[in-house]
């Protein structure tokens, strides 16, 4: 019995050593947790910043749209019939009479026809989700997506 105890004692680690191991393990877990928390915090901060920027941009878009409407109305006021008539009078123009008009035949002249006011098409951008999932999903969602479905990041849905 004594012999067994001696052997056990001889091969067991010193209590301070065990404590050190536990402390080491605890510190390792703590560092890992801190790292995860740090990454999470960093990604969250970036997502928040991006989200805030998006909110600001939506506000700017609205303001730009209002400015365009304002500018169009302002331009129309400057070119209104009354203003144009006044400007013409100031420049000594006067309404022409029928007898004063000289008509000539212009071969090949094509009537321009009906006015077209539809805005010209802009650069065609494929309609994709404006906000990338990176800004909306949590770190856990992001990790599980990458771990369990690593190929998904290579595929992007594009609407025709």
Partner 1 sequence: MKTAGSWRFTTLGILITAMAVFIVIQMLRIQISPQADALRDKGELYSGTWRTLTPARGQIYDRWGHLLAGNNTVYEVGVILSEVENPSTIALAMNAVVDSDYDEVLAATSTEASSEAVYATLARFVTEEQKLRLEQLAKEMATAYGNRKDKNRPSLAGLTYDPRLRRSYPEKDLASNILGFVNWEGEGFFGVEERFNIELAGNPQRVWVPFDPNRVEELPDNPEGTSLILTIDRTIQAELEEIVESTIKDTGSESTTILVMNPKTGDILGAATSPRLDLNEFWRYDEIFEDSTPFNRAVSETYEPGSVYKVLTMAAAIDGGAVKPKTSFLDTGSIEVGGTIIRNWNSGAWGPQDMLGCMQHSLNVCLAWVATELGANKFYQYMQDFGIGHITGVDLAGESPGHLKLPGDGDWYEADLGTNAFGQGVAVTPIQMVMAVSALANEGQMVFPRIVLSMIDNGKQYNTSPRSSGSPISPETAQKISKMLATSLEVESSDALVEGYSIAGKTGTAEIPTPYGYTSSQTNASFVGWGPVDDPRFLVYVWLEKPSTSPWGSVVASPVFRQVVERLVVLMNIPTDEIRHQLVEGQ
116 or 148: CB nearest partner 1? 116
Site residues for partner 1 per CB under 8 A: 44, 47-52, 54-55, 58, 63, 65-67, 69-70, 72-77, 79-82, 85, 95-98, 101, 103, 105, 114-119, 121, 129-131, 135-136
Q: How far is the CB of 17 from partner 1 (least distance, A)?
A: 21
Minimal distance in Å, beta carbon 92 to partner 1? 18
Burial annotation 87-121 (CB, 10 A radius, 16+ → b, else e): eeeeeeeeeeeeeeeeeeeeeeeeeeeeeeeeeee
Distance CA 24, CA 44 (A): 29
Return d(Cα 145, Cα 152) in angstroms, integer. 8
Q: 6 vs 44, which CB is nearer to partner 1? A: 44
**72 vs 65: CA distance, rounded Å:** 11
Nearer to partner 1, 28 or 143 (CB): 143
């Amino acid at each position: 019995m004594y012999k067994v105890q001696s052997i056990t004692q001889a091969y067991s680690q010193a209590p301070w050593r065990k404590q050190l191991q536990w402390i080491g393990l605890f510190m390792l877990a703590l560092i890992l947790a801190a790292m995860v928390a740090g990454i999470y915090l960093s990604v969250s901060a970036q997502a928040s910043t991006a989200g805030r920027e998006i909110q600001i941009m939506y506000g700017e878009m609205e303001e730009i749209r209002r400015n365009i409407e304002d500018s169009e109305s302002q331009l129309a006021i400057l070119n209104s019939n009354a203003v144009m008539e006044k400007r013409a009078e100031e420049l000594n123009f006067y309404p022409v009479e029928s007898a004063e008009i000289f008509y000539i035949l212009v071969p090949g002249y094509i009537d321009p026809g009906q006015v077209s006011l539809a805005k010209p098409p802009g650069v065609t951008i494929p309609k994709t989700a404006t906000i990338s999932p990176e800004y909306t999903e949590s770190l856990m969602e992001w990790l599980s997506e990458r771990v369990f479905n690593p190929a998904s990041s290579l595929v992007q849905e594009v609407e025709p």
